[in-house]
Amino acid sequence: MTEDLPRRPLQQAVALTYENGAPAPKVVAKGRGLVAEQIISVALEAGVFIHESKELVSLLMDVDLDQQIPPTLYRTIAELLAWLYHIESAQKSGLPLPAAPDSIPLTEI
Protein backbone atom coordinates (compact mmCIF):
# COMPACT_ATOMS: atom_id res chain seq x y z
CA MET A 1 0.00 0.00 0.00
CA THR A 2 1.45 3.38 -0.97
CA GLU A 3 1.00 6.47 1.06
CA ASP A 4 -0.60 9.39 -0.76
CA LEU A 5 1.76 12.31 -0.96
CA PRO A 6 0.27 15.79 -0.67
CA ARG A 7 -0.14 17.38 -4.08
CA ARG A 8 1.00 20.87 -4.67
CA PRO A 9 -1.32 22.97 -6.79
CA LEU A 10 -0.45 23.27 -10.45
CA GLN A 11 1.52 26.38 -11.17
CA GLN A 12 0.16 28.76 -13.81
CA ALA A 13 2.01 31.37 -15.84
CA VAL A 14 1.15 33.95 -18.48
CA ALA A 15 3.58 35.92 -20.64
CA LEU A 16 2.64 39.29 -22.09
CA THR A 17 4.21 41.48 -24.72
CA TYR A 18 3.64 45.10 -25.60
CA GLU A 19 4.86 46.72 -28.77
CA ASN A 20 5.05 50.49 -29.19
CA GLY A 21 1.99 51.75 -31.00
CA ALA A 22 -0.11 48.69 -30.18
CA PRO A 23 -3.48 49.42 -28.56
CA ALA A 24 -2.78 47.04 -25.65
CA PRO A 25 -0.46 44.28 -24.45
CA LYS A 26 -1.26 40.78 -25.64
CA VAL A 27 -0.91 37.28 -24.25
CA VAL A 28 1.91 35.43 -26.03
CA ALA A 29 2.21 32.35 -23.81
CA LYS A 30 0.21 30.72 -21.06
CA GLY A 31 0.03 27.36 -19.39
CA ARG A 32 -0.19 25.20 -16.30
CA GLY A 33 2.19 22.74 -14.70
CA LEU A 34 5.23 21.94 -16.83
CA VAL A 35 4.29 24.53 -19.45
CA ALA A 36 4.11 27.21 -16.75
CA GLU A 37 7.48 26.14 -15.40
CA GLN A 38 8.95 26.40 -18.91
CA ILE A 39 7.48 29.90 -19.41
CA ILE A 40 9.03 31.02 -16.13
CA SER A 41 12.37 29.37 -16.95
CA VAL A 42 12.59 31.04 -20.35
CA ALA A 43 11.69 34.40 -18.82
CA LEU A 44 14.37 34.06 -16.14
CA GLU A 45 16.99 33.03 -18.71
CA ALA A 46 16.09 36.11 -20.77
CA GLY A 47 16.41 38.39 -17.75
CA VAL A 48 12.70 39.17 -17.67
CA PHE A 49 11.40 40.19 -14.27
CA ILE A 50 8.51 38.13 -12.98
CA HIS A 51 5.62 39.40 -10.92
CA GLU A 52 3.59 36.83 -9.02
CA SER A 53 -0.14 37.40 -8.71
CA LYS A 54 -2.44 34.39 -8.66
CA GLU A 55 -5.48 36.60 -9.18
CA LEU A 56 -4.04 38.38 -12.20
CA VAL A 57 -2.76 35.15 -13.78
CA SER A 58 -6.18 33.59 -13.29
CA LEU A 59 -7.80 36.46 -15.18
CA LEU A 60 -5.18 36.41 -17.94
CA MET A 61 -5.57 32.64 -18.41
CA ASP A 62 -9.01 33.42 -19.85
CA VAL A 63 -7.48 35.54 -22.64
CA ASP A 64 -6.81 33.63 -25.86
CA LEU A 65 -3.24 33.42 -27.15
CA ASP A 66 -2.19 36.34 -29.36
CA GLN A 67 -5.16 38.38 -28.13
CA GLN A 68 -4.98 41.73 -26.40
CA ILE A 69 -5.74 41.97 -22.73
CA PRO A 70 -9.27 43.16 -21.93
CA PRO A 71 -9.82 46.86 -21.14
CA THR A 72 -10.67 45.95 -17.53
CA LEU A 73 -7.00 44.98 -17.02
CA TYR A 74 -5.42 48.04 -18.67
CA ARG A 75 -4.74 49.90 -15.43
CA THR A 76 -3.31 46.86 -13.65
CA ILE A 77 -1.01 45.96 -16.52
CA ALA A 78 -0.01 49.62 -16.98
CA GLU A 79 1.14 49.73 -13.35
CA LEU A 80 3.21 46.57 -13.86
CA LEU A 81 4.76 47.96 -17.05
CA ALA A 82 5.61 51.18 -15.19
CA TRP A 83 7.29 49.08 -12.49
CA LEU A 84 9.33 47.27 -15.16
CA TYR A 85 10.33 50.61 -16.70
CA HIS A 86 11.59 51.77 -13.28
CA ILE A 87 13.55 48.52 -12.88
CA GLU A 88 15.23 48.99 -16.26
CA SER A 89 16.04 52.63 -15.46
CA ALA A 90 17.49 51.66 -12.07
CA GLN A 91 19.66 48.98 -13.65
CA LYS A 92 21.06 51.41 -16.22
CA SER A 93 21.83 54.06 -13.64
CA GLY A 94 23.08 51.73 -10.90
CA LEU A 95 20.32 52.72 -8.49
CA PRO A 96 18.61 50.18 -6.21
CA LEU A 97 15.76 48.25 -7.81
CA PRO A 98 12.28 49.45 -6.89
CA ALA A 99 10.09 47.16 -4.81
CA ALA A 100 7.40 45.18 -6.58
CA PRO A 101 3.90 46.60 -6.40
CA ASP A 102 2.31 45.44 -3.14
CA SER A 103 -1.17 45.15 -4.47
CA ILE A 104 -2.74 45.07 -7.83
CA PRO A 105 -5.98 47.02 -8.16
CA LEU A 106 -8.20 44.17 -9.28
CA THR A 107 -11.20 45.57 -7.40
CA GLU A 108 -12.28 47.51 -10.49
CA ILE A 109 -12.86 44.33 -12.47
Bridge partners (DSSP) of residue 26 are: 17, 68
pTM exceeding 0.85? no
Sketch the domain layout of the chain as residue ranges: 12-108
| pLDDT tens readout for residues 38-62 | 999 999 999 888 888 899 999 999 9
* Cβ neighbours of residue 86 closer than 8 Å, sequence gap 6 or more: 98
Res 35: pLDDT: 96
* Cβ neighbours of residue 80 closer than 8 Å, sequence gap 6 or more: 51, 101, 104
Q: Which of 85, 84, 87, 62 is nearest to 73 (CA)?
A: 62
In this prediction, what percent of the chain has a pLDDT beyond 90? 52
How many Å apart are CA 83 and CA 51, to the nearest integer? 10
Which residues in 14-43 are b (16+ Cβ under 10 Å) and which e? bbbebeeeeeebbbebbbeeeebeebbeee
Least confident of 7-21, 35-49, 66-80: 7-21
According to CATH, the topology of domain 12-108 is name from scop (3.40.1690)
